[in-house]
Structure 1
Amino acid sequence: MTDDEITALIRRKRAGKLQAPARAEAVAEVEAVVGHRMPALLRRLYLDVSDGGFDPYNAALSLDDHDFLHSDAGRLVDEYLQWRAHIPGYPSHVVPLLSLGCAMWAHVDWSTPEGRIWRWDPGPCERHSLFRDTVSLSEQLTEWYAGVDRRPRNPPCGPDCLS
C-alpha cells in the first residue's frame, strides 16, 4: 500500500475516533531529542492524521498529550527517554510506537526511510529482548488493518537480539 492509501484507510477505519493532528513543534521536539527525523509515513500520520491512536488498537503514543486516554504510557518523547535510561545498549534511533499488551511493544527505526519495525518481547530467549522485525511501518499498519497479527515474531537468540 502507498502512504496515501494507508492514510485514507486509517481515516476511514478510525473516522470519528482520531485526535487532532500533532503540532509541528511537538514533532520538532521529539526529532531533536532522538537526533533523527521521523520516517516520512510516521511524520505524515502525526502531522496530518492524528496525534497518536492511528493504529487499530488506538495505542500509538501521543506527541503532545500527557493524558492520552487510549494508552497507559506517557508522551512518545517521555517513553523514548525511559527506554534509553533503563535498557542498556538501547539504540538511539529506535523509538517506541505502541504497547501491544503483555509487555510487548512495537518500535520504529527512525534511521531507516521506511521506518523498520523493531519489537520488544519479554519471552524470546527466556529474557526480555529488543529485536529487528522483518516489516516496515507501512507493512505493519497494512497487516494490522487487514486483521493480520503475527506478533510476536520471536527471533532466534543471536545478534539481532538486544537484551
Structure 2
Amino acid sequence: MTDDELIEAVRAIPGLLPPASPEAIDEVERVIGHSLPPLLRRLYLEAANGGFGPRTGILGVTGSEYEHHFEVADIVDMYPDTRDEWPGMLWLFDWGCGIWSVMDFRDPAGPMWVWDPNCDAEESPDEVPLTPQNMTLAEWLTESLSGNLEKAFETSDLVAVAERRASFDVCPGELEYTPPECLPDDEIIGTMSALPCLGSPASSAAVTGAERTMGLSLPPLLRRLYLEVANGGVGPGRGIQGVPAPGAHRAREIVFSHSAWSSGPDPFVPPGFVWLCSWGTAIWSLVDCRDPAGPMWIWDPVGPHLRPDHTGARVDPSTLTPQNMTLAEWLTEWLTGSFTRDFRPSTLRAVAARRGEVVSRPGPPAG
C-alpha cells in the first residue's frame, strides 16, 4: 500500500481519536531531537493522534486522548525511560507481557523493531531484547490493518515474524524440486521408530482423549505415529506436537493449540484442522483430519514475501494454503531429506505450487 492508501485506510477505522495538532508534532520532534518519519507524521496529523494499528492501536503524541495504556500516556511520556539505552527508538505499541513494537525514527522509512525481554537469560545470555522486525512502518501497518500481524503474533511471536521476513521467498520457477515417491505407512513408522533420542509413545487413552476434546478423529498414520513412535517431538521443523500426557509441555500439544486458535467464535482455521508442526518462523504445518489421508496445509500469515522484481509472480497469498501433499507424503519428504536443516520454511509455498503442477489441488476448506 502507498502512504496515501494507508492514511485513507486508517481514516476509515471507526471511532478514531482526533488528529494531533501541528504544535504537538513540533513538541515531540523537539523532545526527541529529530523529525518523525513522514508517514507517522502524516498519520498523526491527518488521521488520528494514536489508537490505530493492532488491537487498541499505537500511542499518540502530546494531547492524545489514548486511554488504553495504564502507565504511558503517549510516546513523549515513554521516551525519557528509553532514550539513554536505546537512542533513536520510539516505543509505539504494547502487545502485553512486556513486548513492544518499536520504531527507529532516524530512518525516514521507520524500520520497526520488537522489544521482548522475556528471553531466558541462562539459555541465551548474549540475547538482546531489541530485535529488528524486518518491516518498515508502512509494511507493519499494512499487516496490522489486514489482521495478519495479530494472527502471526498469537500463533507464534514477533521474533518469529522477523525471521520470516529476514529473506525473500523462493518463487516456484526458481525451485529445483522433484517430489519423492511416497513411502508406505509401515515403512514410515518403521523408519521413524529407528530414529535416535525418541520420546515415549502416547497411550491409547491419551490419543483418544485428545480426539474427544477436539471433537475429531486423527488420521490413522498420525495416530500410529503417536502410539508406535513417540508422543511428538519428531518430524520436520520443531517436530510435531504431541497429545496431552503426564510430563508433556502444554504449549507443545495439539489440544492446547486447537483450544487457542481453532475454537471460540472466530477460529483461525476451519473445523477439523490440527496445528501439527511449528517451523519457528511464524509458519505452521496443519493437517486436515476430515480426510483419513491427512491433507497438509500451510499457515503463513505474513507471507509471501517476494523480491520487488517478483511481486507479480503467481504465488498463493492466502494465510492458509494447501501444501498439495498428504501426511504420508509430508513425512516422506522429511525422511528422504527434502526438509533438511537448511530448508527455509518459506519455501513450503513454492513446494506446494510445484506439487500442484502434478497433483490435483484440493478444494478450499469449508468453514
The TM-score range, normalised by the shorter chain, is 0.7 to 0.9
Specify which of 14, 34, 37 is matched with residue 35 of structure 2: 37
Paired amino acid for 1:47: L
Output the CA distance in 1 between the equivalents of 2:16 and 2:89: 25
1:35, 1:93 within 8 Å by CA — same for their partners in 2?
no
SS of the aligned residue for 2:158 comes to: coil
Specify which of 70, 87, 103 is matched with residue 108 of structure 1: 103
Output the CA distance in 1 between the equivalents of 2:99 and 2:117: 7
Output the CA distance in 2 between the equivalents of 1:59 and 1:39: 18
Corresponding residue for residue 78 of structure 1: 77
> Could you say if the C-alpha distance between residues 104 and 94 of structure 1 is closer, same or farther in structure 2, counting changes exceeding 3 Å?
same
Corresponding residue for residue 148 of structure 1: 148
- Measured after TM superposition, the shift of residue 148 of structure 1 is 1.2
- Measured after TM superposition, the shift of residue 66 of structure 1 is 6.6
Corresponding residue for residue 95 of structure 1: 90
Paired amino acid for 2:54: P
Paired amino acid for 2:109: E
Q: State the identity as a percent.
A: 35
- Measured after TM superposition, the shift of residue 54 of structure 1 is 1.6
Higher RCO by CA contacts (8 Å cutoff, separation 6 or greater):
1
Output the CA distance in 1 between the equivalents of 2:61 and 2:147: 26
1:31, 1:38 within 8 Å by CA — same for their partners in 2?
yes
Q: Compute the RMSD of aligned alpha carbons.
A: 2.1
Please tell me whether Structure 1 or Structure 2 has the larger radius of gyration of its CA atoms: 2
Q: How does 1:1-163 map to 2 (within 5 A)?
A: 1-12=1-12, 14-15=13-14, 17-65=15-63, 68-72=66-70, 73-84=72-83, 89-90=85-86, 92-124=87-119, 126=121, 129-149=129-149, 150=152, 151-153=157-159
> Could you say if the C-alpha distance between residues 123 and 52 of structure 1 is closer, same or farther in structure 2, counting changes exceeding 3 Å?
same
Name structure 2 gaps, 5 residues minimum.
122-126, 164-367
Output the CA distance in 1 between the equivalents of 2:38 and 2:52: 15
Name structure 1 gaps, 5 residues minimum.
157-163
2:36, 2:105 within 8 Å by CA — same for their partners in 1?
yes
Paired amino acid for 2:91: P
2:133, 2:158 within 8 Å by CA — same for their partners in 1?
no
1:6, 1:138 within 8 Å by CA — same for their partners in 2?
yes
Paired amino acid for 2:143: E
Q: Which digits, 9 at most, give the CA deviation of each residue in 1:107-154, with x for residues without a partner? A: 111111110001110234546711222000000010111111233216
Output the CA distance in 1 between the equivalents of 2:53 and 2:133: 18
SS of the aligned residue for 1:153 comes to: helix
Paired residues in the alignment total 150
Q: TM-score, normalised by structure 2?
A: 0.38
1:45, 1:54 within 8 Å by CA — same for their partners in 2?
no
Q: Which digits, 9 at most, give the CA deviation of each residue in 1:38-70, with x for residues without a partner? A: 001100010110011021322311212376212
Q: Which digits, 9 at most, give the CA deviation of each residue in 1:59-89, with x for residues without a partner? A: 311212376212232221110112235xxx3
SS of the aligned residue for 1:19 comes to: coil
- Measured after TM superposition, the shift of residue 26 of structure 1 is 1.0
Q: TM-score, normalised by structure 1?
A: 0.82
Output the CA distance in 2 between the equivalents of 1:47 and 1:141: 16
> Could you say if the C-alpha distance between residues 118 and 105 of structure 1 is closer, same or farther in structure 2, counting changes exceeding 3 Å?
same
Paired amino acid for 1:77: V
The 10-residue stretch of structure 1 (117-126 or 63-72) with the greater mean CA deviation from structure 2: 63-72
Paired amino acid for 1:105: W
Output the CA distance in 1 between the equivalents of 2:56 and 2:34: 25
SS of the aligned residue for 2:80 comes to: helix
> Could you say if the C-alpha distance between residues 66 and 52 of structure 1 is closer, same or farther in structure 2, counting changes exceeding 3 Å?
closer
Between structures 1 and 2, the one with greater strand share = 1
